[in-house]
Chain A
């Protein structure tokens, strides 16, 4: 099994640009999570989906952030427009049962 696959691994962009992060969950997993990790705030749950439906998006910081899961094998997290304070590592994770999450290697975003 290839595990959770995230792309890009690194992204450097300028303030105001649109950023799209992508995630392919493990096949057969029915829940998908987006987390953000920063030194100041640690790991924050942004949003999670169950069977492609958003269940809890209370962690999405503001309207500039949006997430979609058009099918069971793909999800995107979009930031538009991006700001320097969005710089962080964004992790995608998936699970089959409500007890164990499998994490991708993360997408490191730098907004200049």
Chain B
């Protein structure tokens, strides 16, 4: 079965600093990988996704993630964060060509001025 591990429950960072949110997955078969963002009192929005092809994926709001098959990781990065990036970030995995999405426990990114 697939699983997702987000090692950091909280990541505090100052505005304009770079940030990396870590995600590792476990699966014996090909998977799709996703990052979703949840702002307070809202549903989840897709930030970016890896389906195939280039291992560096660019998403909305200046975020990007890199798929590393050997390390089974899909870390999310942004070179310079803004106050408005404060939110909960979820990594997710699904089996190739299936609907079922399994989420990690989330990482709360707190950006300070």
Contact = CB atoms under 8 A, between A and B. Distances in A.
Contacts of A56: 100
A18 B42 CA distance: 25
A105 B38 CA distance: 10
A85 to B, nearest CB: 19
B94 A98 contact: yes
Contacts of B73: none
Chain A interface, >50% SS class: strand
A28 to B, nearest CB: 15
A12 interface: no
Contact of A106 (B43, B49, B105): B43
B70 to A, nearest CB: 23
Instruction: Kindly state the interface size class of chain A when it binds its partner.
Output: 20 to 34
Nearest to B44: A103
Contacts, number: 50
Contacts of A45: 100-102
B71 interface: no
Contacts of B46: 100-102
A48 B98 CA distance: 11
Contact of A95 (B44, B99, B106): B99
Given A43-B90, A105-B42, A105-B43, A98 B102 contact: no
Interface of A: 4, 31, 33, 35, 42-43, 45, 48, 50, 55-56, 91, 93, 95, 98-106
Interface of B: 32, 34, 41-46, 49, 51, 90, 94, 97-106
